[in-house]
């Protein structure tokens, strides 16, 4: 039988632990709100690129809800809500929140939509997509990152996101067609398999250019007749899309 004093000490440690967790979560929530305020201000400054002075309110709500600190390495948690990219290992980064917000907004998602993400990274963009669409598929070519992202998504409550390790250049044919596709690494061209897997009426957002040179975020649309249209949105800086293609 354990001594009453021992039980009291253990109970006290447990209470302190949960109190510390609650304080940390409240602090992260305050940081998320500050980040969203900054993003709103910066979005207004990009209206020349976006033809809009504000983001969809659903995107704002997703930014306020998704716990970005759950999608960065422990060493980067103090900077989780800084409006900048952060390293996540293997030469990869979690994108700047402003860019994640803009890319998500450009997709014009609806709740019943089917979305493909190429380049899961840490899982943050997939979590944002899952707040806006019920059917999210995401592919990561770096196996350790794919496993980590899957664990991050489950821990954060996004366990309905479909994850896969593989070369996203070729898309996810079994789950196609998609209402929207987002690519989170720069490509020298728009991959034909992704164009094929995009539904008529669908939208794709992809950085196009060369690593360490001029890159542009490009909006790709497919009309009801399958005709493809493209529009450069704004200059960006992404890591390269890798694979054997």
pLDDT on residue 5: 64
Whether 240 is in a domain gets the answer no
| pTM strictly above 0.95 | no
Whether 241 is in a domain gets the answer no
Q: Which tens digits make up the pLDDT trace of 30-64? A: 999 999 999 999 988 777 677 777 899 999 999 99
Task: Report how many domains make up the chain.
Answer: 1
Q: Which tens digits make up the pLDDT trace of 72-113? A: 999 999 999 999 999 999 999 999 999 999 999 999 999 999
CATH code, domain with 89: 3.40.50.150
Specify whether the CB–CB gap between 191 and 245 falls below 8 A.
Answer: yes
Whether 180 is in a domain gets the answer yes
Q: CA 20, CA 204: separation in Å to the nearest integer?
A: 42
Whether 131 is in a domain gets the answer yes
Whether 227 is in a domain gets the answer yes
Whether 243 is in a domain gets the answer no
Tell me if residue 95 is catalytic. yes
pLDDT on residue 50: 76
Which residue of the set 95, 112, 150, 188 is catalytic?
95
Rg (CA), the chain: 20
What the block records as the tokens of 191 is: 């991959």
Owning domain of residue 34 = 4-235
Task: With CA atoms as reference, report the closest residue to 29 among 56, 60, 57, 67.
Answer: 67
DSSP sequence for 203-219? EEEEEEE-TTS-EEEEE
Cα 192 from chain centre: 23
Whether 9 is in a domain gets the answer yes
What the block records as the tokens of 187 is: 């490509």
Residue 15 has pLDDT above 80, yes or no: no
């Amino acid at each position: 039988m354990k001594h009453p004093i021992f039980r009291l000490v253990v109970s006290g440690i447990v209470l302190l632990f949960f109190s510390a967790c609650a304080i940390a979560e409240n602090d992260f929530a305050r940081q998320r709100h500050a980040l969203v305020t900054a993003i709103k201000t910066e979005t207004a400054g990009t209206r020349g690129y976006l033809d809009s002075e504000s983001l969809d309110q659903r995107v704002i709500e997703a930014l306020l809800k998704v716990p970005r600190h759950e999608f960065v390495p422990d060493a980067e948690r103090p900077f989780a809500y800084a409006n900048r990219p952060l390293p996540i290992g293997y030469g990869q980064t979690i994108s700047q929140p402003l860019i994640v917000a803009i890319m998500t907004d450009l997709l014009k998602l609806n709740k019943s939509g089917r979305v493909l993400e190429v380049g899961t990274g840490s899982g943050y963009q997939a979590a944002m997509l899952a707040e806006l669409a019920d059917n999210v598929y995401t592919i990561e070519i770096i196996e350790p990152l794919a496993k980590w992202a899957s664990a991050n998504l489950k821990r954060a409550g996004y366990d309905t996101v479909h994850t896969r390790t593989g070369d996203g250049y070729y898309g996810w044919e079994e789950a196609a067609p998609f209402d929207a596709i987002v690519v989170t690494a720069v490509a020298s061209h728009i991959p034909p398999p992704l164009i094929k897997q995009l539904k008529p009426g669908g939208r794709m957002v992809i950085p196009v250019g060369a690593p360490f040179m001029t890159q542009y975020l490009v909006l790709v649309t497919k009309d009801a007749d399958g005709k493809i249209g493209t529009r450069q949105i704004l200059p960006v800086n992404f890591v390269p899309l890798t694979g054997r293609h």
